[in-house]
Amino acid sequence: MSELLKVTDLSVHFPVRTRGVWRKTVGRVVAVDNVSFSIARGETLGLVGESGSGKTTLGLAILRGTQPTGGRVELTTASGTIDVTTLDKQALRDARRHFQMIFQDPYSSLNARMTVRDIIAEPLVARRNQKLDRKAIDQRVVEIAEQCGLNREQLRRYPHAFSGGQRQRIAIARALVLHPDLVVCDEPTSSLDVSIQAQILNLLAELQERLGLTYLFIAHDLAAMAYVCDRVAVMYLGQIVEIGATRDVYFTPRHPYTEALMSSVPEPDPSAPLQPMLLQGERPDPANPPSGCRFRTRCRYATELCATTPPVPVEIAPNHFAACHYAKELSLKGALALRNVGQEKVAE
Amino acid sequence: MASAQSVLDVTDLSIALGQDGARIPITEDVSFSIGRGEVLALVGESGSGKSITALALMQLLSRSLFIAKGRVLLRAADGFETDIAALGRDGKAIEAIRGARMGMIFQEPMSSFSPIHTIGAQIAEVVQIHERVSRQVARARAAELLAKVGIPDPKGALDRYPSEFSGGMRQRAMIARALICSPSLLIADEPTTALDVTIQGQILDLLRKLQRELGMAILFITHDLGIVAQMADRVAIMYAGRIVESGPVGEMFGHPAHPYTRALLAAVPRLGDLDHRRKIKPIAGSVPNIFDAPSGCRFHPRCPVADPARCASQLPPVHARGAHAVACIHGKTELPA
């Protein structure tokens, strides 16, 4: 499989300023810290982490929705390789057709004063160097809307007439209307009901297959994530602590944080009782992260080494990386393995 | 299902919107009971009426809503008995229940605390309202409770403000405030929805520990079937303002009888799916609008096994076997023997 996206040492820092007129910079929050990974064409990479882990900022930085402080984001499309971080305003605008985003809340991401047709057509209209006539635009809008499960009739209406799930379909149609290569999905189902969440997850999978899309799927729902992702990256305080095939990361985690995360997922099965591996304390302030390994203050396995030396990611198994000094020695438990009954089920 | 053992018996509770002239029903004929020390999960999607029902149990409905019908019989541990549905929204009678015999915790801990009073003052206040004790005694009790819910340095925490607490700590403080008068029943309305998954694990663990230790009953309102499976003894599923199925947690997950319950379970992704390659099955259509609820069985437009002749025109009959009850025309054959 060819590589579509290659992210190298990407960092995003936000200044911490004092109040008042001078707004003196007194520190910085390292929201994303030297993150590197790649996504193959047609693949789905999941980005999981708790609030404040930097996963949304990372997604935005890849699209230049926020300006990265350092690093490279290379996108290889049919028309060549571009470094997204160095594009000027006009070039970025042209390049945006290759990468699009779907947001969490379809109630705030759609303009209430535009018809569904105009919302979906907007990216086509905004392209200055490739003007389409009205007929061509209409044709494309109808085509993508139907692929997203909307009918021609609904295109004349306004967003308020639609439920959350249907609004998310409109947002997906808008993201896909320009035939993008990469779609960043930022919590696309978090605000939806269970029965509707399944519709959207299945729609995204179906569209991926049909249109050859590549997804960066940001979420905190680990079960939904397992359902759609080929590989998963786990973030903690701005860094990727573990990355690998979904199955490997979920069932044979190599980072203590991943173990804690997996043990906390309540499975909808009363015979698989939850035994959360409780983390000590709370997430540290990202503006003032711990020395050495950032997770050490909550880690049950931490030693003195962890306080002094930041761990580097090591390849523990093929394509399975973890940034932990003890990744090779620790025998960590994966999702379901902590639960007696669950274990039998997995073994079946 | 009313019995002397139950803390709360809700019978035919209906909540409506607006004036008597043009009232719109929000929930209809909701009945359930909660035994002593039992955890009942009230489950539903948005707009199912689960949170409104919880608010009605405490007479906390907003002014535009009112209890149109039904009884809410509370039997507290101290022998106190009353029909809450017959009480007013204000006054001594309901105040003697709220915060004392029934406690409540909400989804958003930030908006449940006053930002300009200390945590200690807000927790001690509850004791001082309900019991004739001095400020010192109330503060000592508050510190004791804060320690019990796992807040480090509880004495110091008394003088801190809610904004100085993290989300998880605020939720712990809210639990402390709800439990300080040892209520017979705790109503928990989506208490972990706003929290991260590892913090959610901590809070669920804490609630379970406290529930066993204090022997209190919990009405757990949630949409998360994972949490239901982990926390509940019994489950009641709500859809568009009605309870469609209720029963012991093992039966509800093992042998769901209502088409909606079964569809809901089929729509949830599970971690075990990674091995089984099970496909989740969405439920067609969307949750109905309360102003335009379907006639007959509310689920019939989305139901794969609906009989259009019967389901659209009549309310489904309730079939029960033991503690497992289902409101569906197919109910009798679907219930496990």
Give the tens place of pLDDT for each residue, B165-191.
888 889 999 999 999 999 999 999 999
Give pLDDT, residue B4.
Answer: 55
Q: Would you tell me how many other CB atoms lie within 10 Å of the CB of residue A135?
A: 8
| Run means of pLDDT, 10 residues per run, chain A, 348 residues | 92 86 81 95 94 91 94 92 93 91 91 95 85 91 95 94 92 96 94 89 94 94 91 96 95 93 88 77 83 93 95 94 94 72 40
pLDDT in the model for residue B275: 66
CB-CB neighbors (< 8 A) of A227 in chain B: 269, 273, 280
pLDDT of residue B293: 84
Nearest-by-CA chain A residue for B229: A270
Element housing A343 (H / E) = helix A340-347
CATH for A3-229, among 3.30.70.100, 3.90.550.10, 3.30.1020.10, 3.40.50.300? 3.40.50.300
pLDDT at position B9: 96
Report the distance separating Cα B274 and Cα A246, nearest Å: 8
B45/A267 Cβ within 8 A: no
Do residue A50 and residue B275 have CB atoms under 8 angstroms apart? no
Query: Which residues of chain A make contact with B232, given a CB cutoff of 8 A?
Result: 270
> A49 is written with which tokens?
């982490």
Q: What pLDDT score was predicted for residue A281?
A: 74
Determine the distance from the C-alpha atom of residue B149 to the mean position of all C-alpha atoms in its chain, rounded to a whole number.
20
**Residue A223 and residue B268: Cβ atoms within 8 Å?**
yes
Domain with CATH 3.40.50.300 in chain A: 3-229
Burial B204-228 (b: 16+ CB within 10 A, else e): bbbbbebbeeeebbbbbbbbbbbbb
Surface-to-core class of residue B321, CB atoms within 10 Å of its CB (0-12 exposed, 13-18 middle, 19+ buried): middle
Distance (Å) from the alpha carbon of B271 to chain A's nearest alpha carbon: 5
Evaluate whether B42 touches B245 at the Cβ level (below 8 Å).
Answer: no
Alpha carbons B333 and B337: distance in angstroms, whole number: 9
Q: A44 - beta bridge partners?
A: A215
Alpha-carbon distance A281 to A298, whole Å?
A: 6
Cα distance between residue B42 and residue B46, in whole Å: 12
Q: What pLDDT score does A297 carry?
A: 93
Q: Residue A342's pLDDT is what? A: 41
Q: What is the pLDDT of residue B330?
A: 92
- How far A10 CA sits from the closest chain B CA (Å)? 25
Say whether B201 and A198 touch across the interface (CB within 8 A). Answer: no
Fill in the DSSP letter of residue B316.
Answer: P
Q: What are the Cα distances from residue A122, in Å, to A63, A93, A178, A211, B252?
A: 18, 14, 10, 20, 47
Instruction: Please judge whether B282 and A268 are an interchain contact, meaning their C-beta atoms are less than 8 angstroms apart.
Output: no
* ipTM for the predicted complex: 0.85
Q: Do A268 and B280 touch (CB under 8 A)?
A: no
Q: Average pLDDT, whole number, for chain B? A: 90
Let me know: does B179 contact B186? Beta carbons within 8 Å.
yes
Q: What is the pTM of this model?
A: 0.89
| Backbone phi and psi for residue A93, each to the nearest 5 degrees, phi listed first | -60, -40
Name every chain B residue with its beta carbon within 8 A of the beta carbon of A221.
269
CB contact under 8 A, A51 and B196: yes
Label residue B71 by pLDDT band (50, 70, 90): very high
**Cα distance between residue B316 and residue B244, in whole Å:** 9
Which residues of chain B does A197 touch, with a Cβ-Cβ cutoff of 8 Å?
A: 267
Model pLDDT, residue B19: 67
| DSSP, res A67 | -
- What pLDDT score does A344 carry? 42
> E strands of chain A, at which residues?
3-17, 25-40, 44-48, 70-77, 80-83, 99-102, 182-186, 214-219, 231-236, 239-245, 314-317, 320-322
Rounded to whole angstroms, the Cα distance separating A4 from A204 reads: 19
Among candidates A53, A80, A83, which has minimal Cα distance to A68? A83
Which of these, A231, A195, A236, lies nearest to B196 by C-alpha position?
Answer: A236
Choose the weakest-confidence range: A163-167, A344-348, B34-38, B74-78: A344-348
User: What tens digit of pLDDT does each residue of A122-144 get?
Assistant: 999 988 777 788 999 999 999 99
